[in-house]
Amino acid sequence: MKVLIMTAMMILMTLSSGWGQGKPKTIDELATYMGPDREKIILEGAKAEGKLVWYTSLGGKSYKTIAKAFRKKYPEIELEVYRAGSKALSQKVLPEAQAKKYIADVIHSTPPILMLLRDKGITKPYSSPHHKKWPKEHKYSAAGGGVWWITERMSFIGLGYNTNLISKDRVPKNWEDLLKPEFKGKIAFSLNSTGDRVVGTMLKYKGMEYLNKLKKQKIKLFKLSGSATRDLVIKGEIPLSVTIFRNHALVKINKGAPLDWVPMDVVPTNAGGTSLMAHASHPYGALLLIDFIIGKEGQDILQSFYYGVAWKDYPFKQVLPEKGMTTKQYNKSLKKWDKILRSLGRRQS
């Protein structure tokens, strides 16, 4: 009898743990609410709001596909999307926050931007049952509970080369191979944050002595995006570049382009995550979209565009250059890396 009473009490305590939270009354309570009726509350609230605004730096067709799938699943909710690069996105969000113009409800971008918004109090922590799937190192946890964001997608940076110009048995397999005389004048870097992060990773793992040797290879610097640099490799105007995204390469490789991609010693990784805006006008809709992106449907879409996901294993070592840094430390490092990058060679465009 005593065992039955104790069992009944344990069941009651388990059930009441969800009830004890009570219905969320504020955006703070809603953001971290994990009661058993969370999904129902968020969906009903989002339908009542009828709209949400998503700022994103996702490129190509990936963000359009996510938006289309979300609208199809929730036709009662108007999803307004604003897309821009990470830097342009921060230049829009920061002035809006300073002017107390709370337009965006949710924002997807890279960690450096999300770190800045977090530090300025523009975003807030949130919780989701989907977070259980993510490794601890890919959760940017908040001290008071919840996360600021998680790694939702990863873009791996490695060596892309033109297969008509360089044979597979001759292509560099690591950074040391780039120093071979046969690659002098054939190596290109993107002159942007991607190139900066590659240089920062080289500096950490190979040191300045290696980068000084690399300077002698007559490096070509292009003020171009990752996809534009990839296209020059495909055209044969650049034999190879170490600033090519794996997902960008795979899109063209699978269409028959004379291109291949190789991971180097370690692979600098450009991650992306979503944060909840602190003054979201449509908080229910924002949480519904976050759940959609990090749920099966959203993750399947991102993988269909060859993005990496944090809960899968890949046959190369990934590094997040900004991991463990404060915003101030990262910005200082980025300036240092950019200065080194510009010293490696001559700008071509």
CA distance linking residue 17 with residue 348, whole number of Å: 63
Q: Enter the tokens of residue 169.
A: 């048995």
Distance between CA atoms of residues 36 and 121, nearest Å:
29
- pLDDT tens, residue by residue, 75-130: 999 999 999 988 889 999 999 999 999 999 999 999 999 999 999 999 999 999 99
pLDDT tens for residues 11-65? Answer: 333 333 344 456 787 889 999 999 999 999 999 999 999 999 999 999 878 999 9
Cβ–Cβ < 8 Å for 305, 297: no
Contact (CB, 8 A) for 283 and 276: yes
d(CA 344, CA 341): 5
pLDDT at residue 21, as a whole number: 53
Q: For the chain, list the domains and their CATH numbers.
A: 31-153+270-304 (3.40.190.10), 155-269+315-347 (3.40.190.10)
